[in-house]
Amino acid sequence: GNSVTQMEGPVTLSEEAFLTINCTYTATGYPSLFWYVQYPGEGLQLLLKATKADDKGSNKGFEATYRKETTSFHLEKGSVQVSDSAVYFCALTKGYQKVTFGTGTKLQVIP
């Protein structure tokens, strides 16, 4: 079945540092890939998505590229801010199948 593997957290960075959160997936064919973010006390919200190979999703300075050859969708940001502190979930779906989420990676950014 489909699965998503994320790097374990927590990840602690200083403000303005470079962020990478690794995500790899297992699925047949070409699933759609997502990053969701959960800020403290709030529900999950979509951060970005990519629906085909080599697509790059981007939003709020975050980027992720759909790499079919490495089955990866790593999340990156060039300069993190304290307000980026949250839990980040990688997810995938295919067709009408249910969305499969990773376990989440907690990011803490310190001033």
Partner 1 sequence: EAGVAQSPRYKIIEKRQSVAFWCNPISGHATLYWYQQILGQGPKLLIQFQNNGVVDDSQLPKDRFSAERLKGVDSTLKIQPAKLEDSAVYLCASSSEGLGNEKLFFGSGTQLSVL
Q: Which residues of this protein are in contact with partner 1, per CB under 8 A?
A: 4, 31-32, 36, 41-46, 49, 51, 89, 91, 93-99, 101-104
Minimum separation from the CB atom of position 50 to partner 1 (A): 9
Q: Which is nearer to partner 1, 19 or 93 (CB)?
A: 93
Burial 42-69 (b: 16+ CB within 10 A, else e): eebeebbbbeeeeeebeeeebbbbbbee
Minimum separation from the CB atom of position 79 to partner 1 (A): 26
Minimum separation from the CB atom of position 102 to partner 1 (A): 5
Q: Which is nearer to partner 1, 34 or 84 (CB)?
A: 34
Q: Which is nearer to partner 1, 4 or 21 (CB)?
A: 4
Question: Running DSSP on this structure, what letter comes out for residue 67?
Answer: B
Non-local CB neighbours of 93 within 8 Å, separated by 6+ positions: 2, 31, 32, 34, 99, 100
Q: Which is nearer to partner 1, 32 or 74 (CB)?
A: 32
91 to 33, 62, 82, 111: CA distances (angstroms): 6, 16, 24, 29
Minimum separation from the CB atom of position 94 to partner 1 (A): 6
Point out which residues pair with 97 in neighbouring strands.
Answer: none
